[in-house]
Amino acid sequence: MRTTLTTLQQYIKNNDKFTALTCYDATFAKILEDAGVDILLIGDSLGNVLKGESTTLSVTLDNIIYHTQCVSNGSSKALIMSDMPFGSYQQSPQQAFENASKILAAGAHIVKIEGGQVMAETTAFLTQRGIPVCAHIGLTPQSIHQLGGYRLQGASQQSAKQLIEDALLLEKAGARMLLMEVVPAKLAQEITQSLSIPTIGIGAGKDCSAQVLVLHDILGLYKDKKPRFVKNFMTGTNSIQQAIANYVTAVKSGQFPDHEHEY
Ligand code: KIV
């Protein structure tokens, strides 16, 4: 049976952790699902790991549609979430709807958009028209030039307060999940406890409802500077399948992330 948003709500009701990983093709879609990964994220990190770019900014709507179709063709069990790429949704809720509907037609079950309260109107517009949204706050790589680098967000009292307000507003607007990237673990815990929707963390500590990482990072393939929150699950095994299964077990049992992976 396929994982749905209802399944994820049930997980958080039961206090069960769940897992997400980025995925860009049919072969890995099946490998990840067979290892028990609940959400396959067609992330715009494909700009980095597939295209070799230093940012996600060049990723196009067509790139996301193509990789969503690839993943969808190989998938029968997981929830499929696709990033809306830079420039495909920021202009207006109407622009977001036009492009999100193409991503859903390609096989995604939910789209992810970056941004805090500025995205509340778009989130409401999409969710009221049948397109589920995962809101992405904290370090939002599509705003890298605005943020001035890949660094911890929500560290000051003022920015932490802003992130709490963003989270509550996005939930109220209809977001079905909230992804937090590179924020203090304590703040992510507070936000998770304040919401009734699941939270997904990447560099956000162990108290989120779920964890996500970039597939190439957990397989030790991406050799650029390794952020603190990344763990290479190939260590101690020579099987990709086993490494992914170990990631799933580590997240579900609360062993990953550890203190060394959080801020
Ligand atoms: O694009 C991506 O892979 C992401 C994750 C880093 C959360 O958005």
**What per-residue confidence (pLDDT) applies to 113?**
98
With 0-12 / 13-18 / 19 or more C-beta atoms within 10 angstroms meaning exposed / middle / buried, residue 247 is buried
Domain formed by 5-261, architecture: Alpha-Beta Barrel (3.20)
Cα(203)–Cα(206) distance, rounded to whole angstroms? 9
Whether the per-residue pLDDT at 220 is higher than 80: the answer is yes
121 belongs to the catalytic site: no
Q: Give pLDDT, residue 34.
A: 98
Please say if the pLDDT value at position 222 is more than 80.
no
Q: Quickly state the pLDDT bin for 226 (edges 50, 70, 90).
A: confident
Q: What integer pLDDT is reported at residue 225 of this predicted model?
A: 75
Peptide bond into 257 cis (omega under 30): yes
Atom of ligand 1 nearest to the CA of 56: 1
Q: Look at ligand 1, atom 8, and give the residue with the nearest C-alpha.
A: 43
Residue-range domain boundaries for the chain: 5-261
Q: What is the pLDDT of residues 165-215, one digit of tens each?
A: 999 999 999 999 999 999 999 999 999 999 999 999 999 999 999 999 999
How far apart CA 145 and CA 52 sit, in angstroms, is 18
Neighbours of 136 (CB within 10 A): 26
> pLDDT class for 13, splitting at 50, 70, 90?
very high
Q: Per-residue pLDDT tens for 133-161?
A: 999 999 999 999 999 999 999 999 999 99
Give CA–CA dist 46/162, Å, rounded.
Answer: 29
Which is the closest atom of ligand 1 to the Cα of 45? 1
- How confident is the model at residue 84, as a pLDDT? 98
Q: What average pLDDT does the structure give for the chain?
A: 97
Q: Ligand 1 pocket: which of 44, 133, 144, 180 to mutate (most atoms <8 Å of CB)?
A: 44
